[in-house]
A and B are shown apart, each in its own frame.
Chain A
Amino acid sequence: MINTGDTAFIMLSAAMVLLMTPALALFYAGMVRSKNVLGTILQSFIMIAVVTFEWIYIGYSMSFGPDVKGLIGDLSMFALNGVGSSPSALYATTIPELVFMIYQCMFAVITPALITGAFAERMRFGPFILFSLLWTIVVYNPVCHWVWGGGWLADKGVLDFAGGLVVHLTSGAAAAAAVIVLGPRKGLGRDKFMPHSLPMTLLGTGLLWFGWFGFNGGSALAADGIAATAFVNTHVAGMAGLAMWVALEWRLYKQPTTLGAASGAIAGLATVTPAAGFITPHAAVFIGLLAGLACFMAVTYKNKAGFDDSLDVVGIHGLGGVIGTICLGIFASKAVNPSGADGLLAGNASFLTTQIFGVVIVGVYAFVVSFVLLKITDIICGGLRLSPEAESIGLDQAAHSETAYNM
C-alpha cells in the first residue's frame, strides 16, 4: 500500500542524491589544476548518462530482480519490465517501485564517479567511459544484489544501511586498482599538484553534505523514526570528522586548512553511511571522530609512500567504508533499529565477525575485478592514459577543446 509521506520523502531524497554527483564533480574539480577542471567535472557528470542508461535497461534488474543463487538478479525486469507505480513486493513496500528504482539509480550513478578521483588528470575519456560501464555491470550490480537485493551477503546477515560496502568500499577498492594500473601523474614529486580552487571544493562539500541527508536518511525507505536516526547520525558524523581533521592539522602543522575541513567532513559522512540507521547519535560522533583520525593518517601515509591516489578515494572513501562497516559490527543496536542487529557492545560478537567478513569479500572482489577490467579496457582501447603531451596540455584542451576560465 502506497504511503504518500514515504513516497514524497523518497522522491525528494532521490533528487538530493542526484545532486551529489555534480557536487562531487565540484569537490574534485577544485582540487585539480586549472587545466583539468572541465575534464574532471565531466568524468563525474557523464556518469548520470552512462549509468542511468545501464540502470533502467539492465542494472536495476541485475541488482533487485528475482534472485539467482544469491549471486545476481535475473533480467526479467529488463527495461523496467513490470516496474511501475505500484510497490514492489520485496523492497520499499510503501512507495511506487518506480520511485525505489530511481532512488537506487542515483547510488549507481555516483559510485563510479567516486573512482575518478584516483586517476584524475591523466585518463583518456573513451577508456574511462568503457571501464565505468563495465565496472557498473560487473562490480556494482552484483555487490548491490549481494547486500541489498536479497543476495548471499544479506543472507549471511551482513548489514550496510546506505552504502559503506556497496558504494564506498567498492569505489575505494576500484580506486586502489586504478592507482596501481595507471601509475602516477607525470611529474609526481616535482610538479606542484596544488588545488586550483578550494572555494569550489568547499561548495562541492556543502552540496555533498546536503545530498547525504537524502542518501542516508532516504535509505530508511520511509519517512519514519529510522530516517530521523540516519539523518541525525549523518550530520553529527560529518561534523565530528570535520572537527577531528582540522584539530589534527592545527596540532601537527600549526595551521588548520579549508581542504582539511572538507576532507574531514567527507570522511565522517562516508564512514557513518553503512551504520547511519542502526546506531545512536553518540556512536555516530565516535565514528566521525575515528574517521577523521584514520583518514587523516591514511592520506599522510599515501603522500609518504608515493602512491598517486590523486584525490584520495582510497584513503577517504575506501577506508571510510571499511571502518564504518566494522564499527557497525561494534555499535549496532536493536534498541535503535529493531530490523537491524545487535553488535559487539550489545553482547553479540558474531555480528562483528559477519561485518568483517562482508568487508573482506566486497573489498577483495571489487579490487580484483576492477584490476582485471582496467587491464581489459587497456587492451581494447590501446591504452588508458593520455599521451604525455596531452597530459601536459591538460584534459580541458586536449580532450574536450574547452577552457574553464576565459578571463
Chain B
Amino acid sequence: MKKIEAIIKPFKLDDVKDALNKIGITGMTLTDVKGYGRQKGHVEIYRGAEYMVDFIPKVKIGIIVPSEKVDEVVETIIAAARTGKIGDGKIFVLPVDEVIRVRTGETGNEAI
C-alpha cells in the first residue's frame, strides 16, 4: 500500500476530486497548507507599501491506495490539476505499513 500526497492549487480541488472518484477512489483527506517552491511568493501592495508574501495557499490531499493503483492515481491527479503554469504543485508517494479500519478492525487493502 502507498500514500499519495498531492499539493495542488486550491481551485483545482474539485476537478481532482471528481477525476479520482471516476477511477474508483472512495476517500481522501484534505489539508489546507501554505508553502512555496520554485514559484516563490507574490507581492501585495497596501497604500503603497509592498509586502512579499512568501507562503501561498495550497491544498494537500492524502490518499491511501493499493500499490498497483499508484500509477493510475498519479496520472489522474496530474491530468486534473495541471494548468501548465508555475505553481501547479507536487505529488509525493510514500510507503504505508498498515491500514486499520477503526469500526471493524479490518486491515490491509480491505480497510482502504
Contacts and interface: CB of A to CB of B under 8 A. Distances in A.
A217 B47 CA distance: 29
B51 A299 contact: no
B15 to A, nearest CB: 27
Contacts of B52: 192
A151 B32 CA distance: 62
A194 B51 contact: yes
B86 interface: no
Contacts of A194: 44, 46, 51, 53
Contacts of A300: 48
B45 A257 contact: yes
A303 B45 contact: no
B47 A299 contact: yes
A253 B44 CA distance: 10
Contacts of A312: 47
A300 B46 CA distance: 10
B51 A192 contact: yes
A4 to B, nearest CB: 45
B36 to A, nearest CB: 14
Interface string A162-186: 0000000000000000000000000
A303 B44 CA distance: 14
A188 to B, nearest CB: 10
For chain B, give the interface size range: under 10
B49 interface: yes
A352 to B, nearest CB: 31
A281 interface: no
A116 B42 CA distance: 31
Contacts of B46: 31, 194-195, 257, 259
Interface string B32-57: 00000000000011111101110000
A260 B51 contact: no
Nearest to A260: B47
A260 B94 CA distance: 47
Contacts of A193: 49, 51
A253 B47 contact: no
Most buried by A among B45, B48, B51: B48
A257 B52 CA distance: 17
Nearest to B45: A253
Contact of B47 (A192, A255, A303): A303
A263 interface: yes
A29 B106 CA distance: 52
Contacts of A255: 45
B51 A303 contact: no
Contacts of B53: 192, 194
Interface in A212-268: 249, 253, 255, 257, 259-260, 263
A255 B42 CA distance: 14
Contacts of A260: 47
A195 B49 CA distance: 11
B74 to A, nearest CB: 34
B108 to A, nearest CB: 38
A27 B107 CA distance: 56
12 contacts: A31-B46, A192-B51, A192-B52, A193-B49, A193-B51, A194-B53, A195-B46, A253-B45, A255-B45, A263-B47, A296-B48, A300-B48
Interface of A: 31, 192-195, 249, 253, 255, 257, 259-260, 263, 296, 299-300, 303, 312
Given A192-B52, A194-B46, A259-B46, 19 more contacts: A192-B51, A192-B53, A193-B49, A193-B51, A194-B44, A194-B51, A194-B53, A249-B45, A253-B45, A253-B48, A255-B45, A259-B47, A260-B47, A296-B48, A299-B47, A299-B48, A300-B48, A303-B49, A312-B47
